[in-house]
């Protein structure tokens, strides 16, 4: 119950996209906050629809955090691979969004 209450409070304080406010178009990061919110609510499909890179960014963030305390074999390769895959997903999703193929 505490998590649900916290998530509702967080939803009220999401930052607006400055790029969208100023220029009227989404930036490559548009949807990330809402996707994280949906992910932690357990709405995984909606989180993916909102921002597909969420499923590579969360493992990347968790791995980067864990690697501060634990040494992993192939640590750099794992971070670079997750970063590259995340970047590729973000780029492809943004191109599709801007060409209106996804919505």
Per-residue pLDDT tens digits for 35-90: 999 999 999 999 999 999 999 999 999 999 999 999 999 999 999 999 999 999 99
The residue behind tokens 């548009």 is 30
Question: How would residue 3 be classed by pLDDT, with cut points 50, 70 and 90?
Answer: low
Please give the residue that has the higher pLDDT: either 51 or 98: 51
Look up the pTM and report it.
0.76
How does 7-43 read in b/e, with b if 16+ C-beta sit within 10 Å? eeeeeeeeeebeeeeeeeeeebebbbbbbbbbbeeee
Looking at the predicted structure, is the pLDDT value of residue 1 above 60? no
Please give the residue that has the higher pLDDT: either 26 or 4: 26
Q: Distance between CA 67 and CA 48 in Å, rounded? A: 26
The pLDDT, as a whole number, for residue 8 is 59
Please give the residue that has the higher pLDDT: either 18 or 69: 69
């Amino acid at each position: 119950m505490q998590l649900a209450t916290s998530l509702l409070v967080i939803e009220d304080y999401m930052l607006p996209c400055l790029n969208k406010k100023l220029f009227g178009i989404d930036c490559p990061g548009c949807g990330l906050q809402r996707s994280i919110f949906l992910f932690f609510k357990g709405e995984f499909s909606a989180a993916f629809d909102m921002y597909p890179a969420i499923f590579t960014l969360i493992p990347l963030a968790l791995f980067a955090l864990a690697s501060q305390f634990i040494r992993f074999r192939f640590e750099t390769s794992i971070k670079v691979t997750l970063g590259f895959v995340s970047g590729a997903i973000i780029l492809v999703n943004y191109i599709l969004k801007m060409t209106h193929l996804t919505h």
